[in-house]
Structure 1
Amino acid sequence: MFHSLFTFNFTEYTFPMTEGHPSHLANSNLPMSAKHFQLYGRFWDVVSLLAFVSAAVSVIIAHSNALTWRETTAAGLCVAQGVLYFFAIARSGWPISRFRLTLYFVGGLGLWLLACWLNPFLWWLGFTYFGQMFGLLPLQAVIPGTAILTALIVLTISEWKITDLPMGAVIGFSIQWLIAMVLYLFIYGIIRTSGDRAKLIAKLEAAQKELELAHQRDTELATLQERERLARDLHDSLGHALVALSVQLEAIQRLYKVDPERASAQVDELKTLTRASMDDLRRSLAGLRAPGLGERRLSEALQTLSVDAGQRAHLEITCHVAEGANQLSPAHAETIWRIAQEALANIERHAAAHTVQLQLSITPNAALLSIQDDGRGLPPDAEKQPGHYGLRGMRERVEGLGGTLTLTSDGNGSRVDVKLPIL
Structure 2
Amino acid sequence: MGVELSANADEPVAGRDAWGRLAGLWHLLLAGTLALPTAITLLFGPLDVADRLVVAGLVVVFGVWHWALLGRAPLGEESTGTAVVYWVGTVALVGALAGYGDSYTILLYGLFPLGFITLNWWGMVPLVVLTALIGWRSGGWAAGPAAAISVAATALLAAVIAVVVGAVARQSEERRAALELLAATRAQLAASARRTGGLEERQRLARELHDTVAQGLASIVTHLEAADQAVSDRPDLVRSHLDIARRAARGGLDELRRTVQALRPDLLHGAPLPEALRRSAEQWSGEHAVPVEVRVTGEPTALHTDTETALLRVAQEALTNTARHAGASRVVLSLSYLGDTVTLDVDDDGIGFAGTPAPRPDGGFGLIGMRERVAAVGGHLAVESAPGEGTTVAASVPA
TM-score, normalisation: structure 1: 0.58
Q: Contact (CA 8 Å) 2:345, 2:394: kept in 1 or not?
A: yes
| Aligned partner (choices 276, 284, 290) of residue 252 of structure 2 | 284
> Following the alignment from structure 1 to structure 2, what is the Cα–Cα distance between the partners of residues 76 and 46?
20
Runs of 5+ unmatched residues, structure 2:
1-11, 259-264
1:385 aligns with 2:385: no
1:315-330 matches, within 5 Å, as 315-319=292-296, 330=305
> Following the alignment from structure 2 to structure 1, what is the Cα–Cα distance between the partners of residues 57 and 281?
100
- 1:34 equivalent in structure 2: none
After TM superposition, give the deviation of residue 125 of structure 1 in Å.
1.1
The secondary structure found in structure 1 opposite 2:385 is strand
1:130 aligns with 2:142: no
Post-superposition Cα deviations, 1:368-394, rounded to whole Å, max 9, x if no partner, equal 766444432369745432274444433
- 2:322 equivalent in structure 1: 347
1:183-262 matches, within 5 Å, as 202=183, 206=187, 209-210=190-191, 213-214=194-195, 217-218=198-199, 220-222=201-203, 224-225=205-206, 229=210, 230=212
Q: Contact (CA 8 Å) 2:334, 2:344: kept in 1 or not?
A: yes
> Following the alignment from structure 1 to structure 2, what is the Cα–Cα distance between the partners of residues 322 and 150?
86
Post-superposition Cα deviations, 1:345-367, rounded to whole Å, max 9, x if no partner, equal 54366531545464668899x98
The amino acid of 2:245's aligned partner reads: S
1:56-95 matches, within 5 Å, as 59=41, 66-67=48-49, 76-92=57-73
Q: Name the stretch that deviates more: 354-363 or 341-350.
A: 354-363
Post-superposition Cα deviations, 1:164-188, rounded to whole Å, max 9, x if no partner, equal 3599x99999999999899989988
After TM superposition, give the deviation of residue 271 of structure 1 in Å.
1.8
1:387-406 matches, within 5 Å, as 388-398=364-374, 406=382
Post-superposition Cα deviations, 1:262-290, rounded to whole Å, max 9, x if no partner, equal x9999856523421312422552464332
> Following the alignment from structure 2 to structure 1, what is the Cα–Cα distance between the partners of residues 249 and 174?
64
- 1:301 equivalent in structure 2: 273
The verdict on how the C-alpha distance between 1:362 and 1:376 changes in structure 2, with shifts beyond 3 A counting, is same
Post-superposition Cα deviations, 1:325-345, rounded to whole Å, max 9, x if no partner, equal 856x54344323432343245
After TM superposition, give the deviation of residue 96 of structure 1 in Å.
0.7
Q: Contact (CA 8 Å) 2:298, 2:336: kept in 1 or not?
A: yes
The verdict on how the C-alpha distance between 1:64 and 1:159 changes in structure 2, with shifts beyond 3 A counting, is closer
The verdict on how the C-alpha distance between 1:349 and 1:362 changes in structure 2, with shifts beyond 3 A counting, is same
The amino acid of 1:164's aligned partner reads: A
The verdict on how the C-alpha distance between 1:357 and 1:243 changes in structure 2, with shifts beyond 3 A counting, is closer
> Following the alignment from structure 2 to structure 1, what is the Cα–Cα distance between the partners of residues 62 and 111?
10
> Following the alignment from structure 1 to structure 2, what is the Cα–Cα distance between the partners of residues 75 and 363?
88
Q: Contact (CA 8 Å) 2:297, 2:335: kept in 1 or not?
A: yes
> Following the alignment from structure 2 to structure 1, what is the Cα–Cα distance between the partners of residues 342 and 182?
32
> Following the alignment from structure 1 to structure 2, what is the Cα–Cα distance between the partners of residues 341 and 13?
69
- 1:115 equivalent in structure 2: 96
The amino acid of 2:14's aligned partner reads: E
The verdict on how the C-alpha distance between 1:336 and 1:308 changes in structure 2, with shifts beyond 3 A counting, is closer
* RMSD of aligned alpha carbons: 5.9
> Following the alignment from structure 2 to structure 1, what is the Cα–Cα distance between the partners of residues 248 and 339?
38
The verdict on how the C-alpha distance between 1:271 and 1:355 changes in structure 2, with shifts beyond 3 A counting, is closer
Q: Contact (CA 8 Å) 2:78, 2:118: kept in 1 or not?
A: no
> Following the alignment from structure 2 to structure 1, what is the Cα–Cα distance between the partners of residues 391 and 80?
80
> Following the alignment from structure 2 to structure 1, what is the Cα–Cα distance between the partners of residues 97 and 187?
55
| Aligned partner (choices 291, 294, 315) of residue 314 of structure 1 | 291
1:414 aligns with 2:391: yes
TM-score, normalisation: structure 2: 0.60
Q: Contact (CA 8 Å) 1:347, 1:353: kept in 2 or not?
A: no
> Following the alignment from structure 2 to structure 1, what is the Cα–Cα distance between the partners of residues 222 and 16?
68
The secondary structure found in structure 2 opposite 1:384 is coil
Q: Contact (CA 8 Å) 1:320, 1:360: kept in 2 or not?
A: yes
Runs of 5+ unmatched residues, structure 1:
1-9, 16-29, 31-36, 248-262
The amino acid of 1:376's aligned partner reads: I
**Kindly, what percent of the aligned residue pairs are identical?**
20
